[in-house]
Amino acid sequence: MGDAAYVRFDPLFPERQAEAMLRLCERFGRYGTYAEEAIEEDFGAGLPQRYDAAINFVRTGGRFGRREPLARLAARTNYFRETYAYDRPVVAGIEPFLHHEGFADAARKVHGRAIVAPNIVYANLLVPGQELAVHTDVPEFRGVSRKRDPQWLIVAMHHSRLFERWRMPIATGVAWFGNPRGGEFVFYPEGPFRPPVAIPVRHNTAIVLDTDSVFHGVDRVREDAAPLPDLRPGVELAYAGDGAWQLEQNGEVLGRYGWGDLRFSVSWKAYCFADEAERRMVDEHTDDLCREQVIETLRTDLRRRDRIGAGPVPDAELALAIIEHYIVYPPPASGAEAR
């Protein structure tokens, strides 16, 4: 995908409002890990939702080609997330962020579309030693649902460019509050084969871009004070008062942190419609894709490119061919340890 537009904010809010975001984060209080979402159907059953990103991370060791046991890599990327708004505010005080005019203007620029409809705000918290593997987000298409269709398939659909007519462009804003050590936001605005841009995380700054198209990730949050503990399902990051946070598992405290240790970002997502007619098409489902059409289109394209044989191809083989062929990840940074 070619050069992508993005808009940066520095500062995002008047300082009092930025401080209010930190207080909101504390008030919300408890954050669980980003669990796998369940899906109803079974194409490619057995593959994790983001098999594409996971296999790339394990193969390359991430942007810096680091090699570590699988369980360790899993703990590093198992960060904490909760929802602050979903169509409407979930927590009081998020309104100025959800309806930030600057974000809406930036979204219009990023996609060149007039109607911007913010719908989701969520919080991401990373503790020292955590990072986020390079990936593109799960996009949306009319007729395709991440409740029903595997996420890696929806990601591959977008990278294939074969379903542009049905795509619902989404703009993403990411804002940072607090000043962690490390945890740079890394993205590839000129595509996966050009050098990335690494933005140091500074309090009250933000960026708006198309994270469904632009590869991005989060470099490791510095863990010089204490190594990242093993994280098991059910682990929570909880505010303990007086600027202190703790990692809790079944009543046991696994780690203690101050604000200066944590990387706190707030993500904003908005649908971008060209006009009201397009918006109606979404609401009224007058031009939806169906699963069979998606699979057949990809199967035909892969056959034409000699990536699969002419005869029947088992689902599992087709699934891997789709991931391998269409989702081409940036290579690790040059000079990285990866061989």
Q: Which spans of this chain sit near Fe ion (rule: CB under 5 A)?
A: 137, 211
Instruction: State the DSSP code for 38.
Output: P
> Cα separation of 204 and 185, whole Å?
14
The minimum distance between CB 329 and Fe ion, in angstroms, equals 13
The residue among 20 and 214 lying less far from Fe ion, judged by its C-beta, is 214
The minimum distance between CB 275 and Fe ion, in angstroms, equals 28
The minimum distance between CB 216 and Fe ion, in angstroms, equals 6
The minimum distance between CB 66 and Fe ion, in angstroms, equals 20
The residue among 97 and 259 lying less far from Fe ion, judged by its C-beta, is 97
Q: Which of 126, 240, 231, 235 shows the shortest CA–CA distance to 181? A: 126
The minimum distance between CB 89 and Fe ion, in angstroms, equals 22
> Cα separation of 94 and 81, whole Å?
15
The residue among 211 and 213 lying less far from Fe ion, judged by its C-beta, is 211
> Cα separation of 305 and 302, whole Å?
5
The residue among 130 and 211 lying less far from Fe ion, judged by its C-beta, is 211
The minimum distance between CB 71 and Fe ion, in angstroms, equals 23
Residue 259, token pair as written in the block: 């604000």
The residue among 5 and 281 lying less far from Fe ion, judged by its C-beta, is 5
The minimum distance between CB 211 and Fe ion, in angstroms, equals 5
The residue among 108 and 216 lying less far from Fe ion, judged by its C-beta, is 216
3-class SS of residue 136: coil
Residue nearest to Fe ion (CB): 137
The minimum distance between CB 172 and Fe ion, in angstroms, equals 7
3-class SS of residue 35: coil
The residue among 138 and 318 lying less far from Fe ion, judged by its C-beta, is 138
Per-position DSSP letters for 273-339, written without gaps between them: ESSHHHHHHHHHTSS---HHHHHHHHHHHHHHTTSS-SS---HHHHHHHHHHHH--PPPPPTT-S--
Q: How far is CA 60 from CA 18, 42, 196, in A?
A: 37, 28, 16
* Contacts of residue 288, Cβ cutoff 8 Å, sequence gap at least 6: 142, 143, 166
Phi, psi values for residue 89, rounded to 5° = -60, 135
Strand pairing of 236-241 and 30-32?
antiparallel
The strand pairing partners of 173, in sequence order, are: 208, 268
The residue among 20 and 216 lying less far from Fe ion, judged by its C-beta, is 216
Yes or no: say if 337 and 65 are a contact pair by the CB < 8 Å rule.
yes
Q: How far is CA 218 from CA 164, 223, 301, in A?
A: 28, 14, 33
Single-letter amino acid code for the residue at 59: R
The minimum distance between CB 313 and Fe ion, in angstroms, equals 31
The residue among 120 and 289 lying less far from Fe ion, judged by its C-beta, is 120
